Amino acid sequence: MHISRRMRDIALQSAVGVMALSLIGMAFAASGHLNPVSGAIAQEIIDMLAVLNALRAAFPPKVIHDP
């Protein structure tokens, strides 16, 4: 897989994943299942997961090849 494609895929996963998890969190908050403090903590955890996922781009893949 091209390195640039891998980086794009990781960035897309991070962006889409964070948006999806944030929307789920907002739905829980809007329905009253999360109070503001719990919602803020959940959002911070979601943000940390996004950063950790994006950090995968800093490490070389096990297999590097160009088609």
pLDDT value of position 58: 77
What integer is the mean pLDDT of 7-22?
A: 87
CB atoms within 10 A of CB 65: 8
Nearest-Å Rg of the Cα atoms of the chain is 16
pLDDT value of position 45: 93
- Class of residue 22 by CB neighbours under 10 A (exposed 0-12, middle 13-18, buried 19+): middle
Q: What is the pTM of this model?
A: 0.71
Q: pLDDT at position 3, please?
A: 65
